[in-house]
């Protein structure tokens, strides 16, 4: 039998071949499991263990090719191209769109473009994640 220390629904420590009643001076929720059933980082909801869903990191930069493919797939490319063709567009934004070698997630250009498209920060993150998957 293995014993796990649970804090905030997460397994934080595991004692192998140890019953919980043999542990002294340990504060927190102790739960017993079958041998090798539990490892640190697993989630415990009070009755069942689960493995947490991995968090996908938002890339800091994607290539213009990757960005354009994802904008096309999302149905946003025509709107972006219309914005870039507008006489009201800032010249620096047009240069960035046409000549940048990479689009950086934290750049003012990307944040302004996303806002102009009505996208939330989370939606921009999702587009960057999708773009990073384009070969």
Q: How far apart are CA 50 and CA 107, in angstroms?
A: 37
Domain boundaries, the chain: 2-50, 61-132
Contacts with 11 (C-beta within 8 Å, 6 or more apart), sequence order:
4, 5, 38, 39, 40, 41, 42, 43, 44, 49
**pLDDT tens by residue, 65-92:** 999 999 999 999 999 999 999 999 999 9
**pLDDT tens by residue, 9-61:** 999 999 999 999 999 888 889 999 999 999 999 999 999 999 999 888 999 99
pTM over 0.75: no
Residue 97 has pLDDT above 90, yes or no: yes
């Amino acid at each position: 039998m293995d014993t796990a220390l649970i804090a905030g629904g997460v397994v934080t420590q595991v004692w192998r071949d140890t019953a919980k009643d043999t542990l002294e001076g340990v504060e927190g929720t102790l739960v017993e499991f079958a041998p090798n059933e539990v490892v640190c980082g697993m989630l415990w909801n009070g009755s069942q263990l689960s493995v947490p869903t991995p968090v996908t990191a938002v890339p800091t930069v994607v290539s213009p090719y990757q960005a354009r493919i994802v904008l096309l797939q999302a149905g946003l490319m025509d709107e972006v191209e219309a914005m870039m063709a507008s006489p009201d567009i800032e010249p620096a934004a047009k240069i960035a769109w046409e000549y940048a070698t990479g689009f950086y997630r934290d750049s003012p250009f990307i944040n302004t473009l996303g806002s102009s498209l009505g996208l939330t920060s989370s939606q921009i993150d999702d587009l960057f994640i999708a773009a990073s998957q384009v070969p």
